[in-house]
Every structure is written in C-alpha cells, then in structure tokens.
Amino acid sequence: MSLQKRIIIAIGIILVDLGIFFLPLTAFFLVYVIIYNPPWVKDFLEKLGSPVG
C-alpha cells in the first residue's frame, strides 16, 4: 500500500470520527440548552455580560 493511500485512509477515518462523534454531541448539547433552559446557562451568560469589579 502506498503512502498516498494510507494518508487518504487516515484522513477518511478522522473525518468519519468527527462526523459521528463531534458534531452530534454539540448539536445535542445545544438542543438540551434550548429546550430545557437550565439555570446554570443563564448564570453563566449573566456573568459573561457583567462588568468586572
């Protein structure tokens, strides 16, 4: 097997892994935050917007 084929297979594995694991987890987290509106998210956003000191 040539080096070029091995690199293409490795890139394919990484893309499949990102597509299966990374993107859906982020989407599910956003859906959770939007639907359930947990209080810790509101507290976090308020702390980001408040001036320091």
For residue 53, what pLDDT is reported?
60
For residue 31, what pLDDT is reported?
92
For residue 6, what pLDDT is reported?
95
Residue boundaries of the structural domains of the chain: 3-49
Q: Give pTM, 2 decimals.
A: 0.53
- In sequence order, which ranges of 1-53 are alpha helices (DSSP H)? 3-17, 23-36, 39-49
For residue 2, what pLDDT is reported?
92
pLDDT in tens, 1-53: 899 999 999 999 999 988 888 777 888 899 999 999 999 999 998 999 888 76
- Backbone CA torsion sign across 26, 28, 25, 18: negative
Amino acid at 36: Y
Non-local CB neighbours of 2 within 8 Å, separated by 6+ positions: none
Which three-class secondary structure state does DSSP give residue 38? coil
